[in-house]
Structure formats: C-alpha cells, structure tokens
C-alpha cells in the first residue's frame, strides 16, 4: 500500500468511525441489541453446562457470532447504499478514490465495532461469573469470529450496491433475523427441532458459530472452514457482480 493510499484509507476510516460515533441510533441495533440479548440469556441460562462447555462461555461464541455479523452485515451495506443515494460514492470515484478503499474502510470500521461488541460480551460474562475460558481461547474466538465476518460484509456490500438505503436496511434485517434464529445463535442448536438443525447446516452463520465454539474445545473445524470459504467465494462473486452493474 503506497503512502498516499494509506492516507486516503485513513481519511475514509476516520469518516466511517465519525459516522458511528456521531449517529448513536445505529449503536442501538448494532451494539445494544446483541449485547442486551447476551446479558439477558446469560443471566437466565449462563450457569448451565451444555456440550461440556458452560452455557455462559458458549454464548460468547454464539451471541458473539450474532453480534459481529450484525455489524458486518448491516453497517457496510447500509453505508454504501447511503453513499450512493447521496452521490457521495460518485464523488469519491471522480476524486480518484478506488472503490476498494472506501469498502475496505467500511469493513474495517465494522470490524472495530465488532471488537467492541465482543469485548462488552466478554466483560459481561466475566462479571456474571459464567466465563470459563483461557485468554488464549477467547482471543482465538474473537479472531475467528472477526475473520468470519468477511462473507457477510461482502454480501452486505453486494446488497448496498444494488438497492437504495431503505430497501437495503429492510433486506439485510430480513436476512439477518432468520439466520440468527435458525443457526442457533440465540438458543443453542441442540435445543432446536430436528428440521431447524437440518436447515442450519446450510447456513454460514451456523458454521461461523460452530467455528467459534470449536475454539472453546467443542467440535471440529474443517467442515465449517470449508463452508465459510465456499460462502466467501459466492459472496465475493455477488459483490463483484453488484459492483459491475451498480450506478454510482
């Protein structure tokens, strides 16, 4: 990355972070809701043990997945759609800013948001005495979940490049909610009906949560990594297609 590209990326990231801090309404859906659910379920079921892992600790992976994909799937796509509606993306193109820099800044800002969500969840679980994992395990969970947001960010960008802001918000939320429920992000997958468990195997959110749980010593990783790689390739294709046809 050249010095100039780095400076432009810095400006783009700074603008994204300012948007987050200065428009606190987005904090509600992106931070308060996932963390609020986490706190509620942790208080109710955090001390139970499921699959050899205390539920409160497992929730860091499952609710953590919900938390990071909420920001990764909502923020970049909505941001891109807003920029297009305003003519701001067109202005950047005219200013010779590669669209990849703008999108990378949006994805990075969402990741930083995700770090905040995970930190709050970890702190809450620690406070409730339901966190039974080593620092290394927690760092691995965080890294896996944050890395696992890539396909969701790409899908979000694809939607944002094709639809107007309101449609993007509606569509992404409409996708996010069933993904969270059917993948066992709120209620542990083993407590869900057999049909739902069968459906979950085809959902990337399920595989990301399972990959997070694997860092806490529950289950294998390979099949989930493969599923997420396939999803990433598919969403990358969608994002590239959306970019080609987008009218910025």
Partner 1 sequence: MGTTQRTTRAVMTAEGLRHRYGESLALDGVDLRVDPGECVALLGPNGAGKSTLVALTVGLLAPQQGSVRVLGGDPRRAATRRRLGVAQQTLGFPNTLTVDELVTGAAVRGGLRASAAGPVLAELGLAELRRRRVPKLSGGQKQRVQLAMALVTDPALLVLDEPTVGLDTSARRHFWQILARRRARGTAVLVTTHLIEESAAVADRVVVLDRGGILADAPPEELVARLPDRTVTVRTRLDRRELELLPGVLSVAADHDLVRIQTRAPEELLRALLDRDERLSELRVQDAGLEEAVLALTDRAEAAR
Angle at 157 between CA 122 and CA 161, to 5 degrees: 155
d(CA 54, CA 125): 11
What is the DSSP code (8-state) at residue 47?
A: T
Q: Is 100 in the site for partner 1 (CB under 8 A)?
A: no
Nearer to partner 1, 106 or 207 (CB): 106
Q: Does 11 interact with partner 1 (rule: CB under 8 A)?
A: yes
Binds partner 1 by CB under 8 A, chosen from 96, 136, 190, 244: 96
Binding mask 43-82 for partner 1 (x = CB under 8 A): ---------------------------------------x
Q: Does 93 contact partner 1 by CB under 8 A?
A: yes
Do residues 64 and 141 lie in contact, with contact meaning Cβ atoms separated by under 8 Å?
A: yes
Nearest-5° angle of CA 211, CA 134, CA 69?
35
- Interface with partner 1, residue 174, by CB under 8 A: no
Candidates 36, 43, 44, 98; binder of partner 1 (CB under 8 A) is 98
Q: Out of 47, 48, 90, 164, which residue is the one contacting partner 1 (CB under 8 A)?
A: 90
Chain-centroid distance, C-alpha 72: 4
Query: Rule CB under 8 A: is residue 88 a binding residue for partner 1?
Result: yes
Pairing of strands 49-50, 53-54: antiparallel
Task: Indicate the residue among 55 and 157 with the shorter CB distance to partner 1.
Answer: 157
Lookup result for tokens 């997420």? 228
> Exposed, middle or buried: residue 95 (CB in 10 Å: 0-12, 13-18, 19+)?
exposed
At 55, list the tokens: 């539920």
- Interface with partner 1 in residues 17-46 (CB under 8 A): 18-19, 22-23
**Site residues (vs partner 1, CB under 8 A):** 4, 7-8, 10-11, 14-15, 18-19, 22-23, 82-83, 85-88, 90-98
């Amino acid at each position: 990355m050249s010095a100039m590209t780095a400076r432009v990326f810095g400006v783009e990231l700074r603008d994204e972070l300012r948007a987050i801090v200065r428009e606190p309404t987005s904090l509600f859906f992106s931070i308060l809701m996932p963390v609020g659910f986490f706190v509620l379920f942790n208080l109710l079921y955090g001390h139970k043990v499921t699959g050899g892992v205390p539920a409160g600790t497992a929730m860091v992976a499952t609710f953590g997945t919900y938390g990071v994909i909420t920001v990764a799937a909502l923020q970049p796509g909505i941001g891109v759609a807003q920029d297009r509606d305003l003519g701001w993306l067109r202005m950047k193109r005219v200013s010779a800013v590669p669209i990849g820099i703008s999108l990378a800044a949006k994805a990075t800002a969402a990741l930083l948001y995700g770090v905040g969500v995970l930190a709050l969840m970890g702190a809450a679980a620690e406070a409730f005495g339901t966190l039974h994992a080593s620092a290394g395990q927690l760092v691995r969970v965080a890294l896996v979940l944050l890395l696992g947001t890539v396909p969701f960010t790409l899908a979000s960008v694809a939607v944002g490049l094709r639809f107007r802001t309101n449609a993007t918000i509606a569509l992404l939320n409409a996708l996010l909610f069933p993904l969270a429920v059917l993948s066992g992000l709120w209620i542990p997958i083993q407590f869900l009906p057999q049909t739902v468990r069968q459906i979950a195997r085809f959902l990337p959110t399920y595989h990301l949560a399972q990959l997070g749980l694997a860092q806490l010593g529950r289950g294998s990783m390979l099949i989930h990594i493969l599923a997420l790689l396939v999803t990433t390739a598919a969403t990358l294709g969608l994002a590239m297609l959306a970019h080609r046809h987008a009218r910025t």
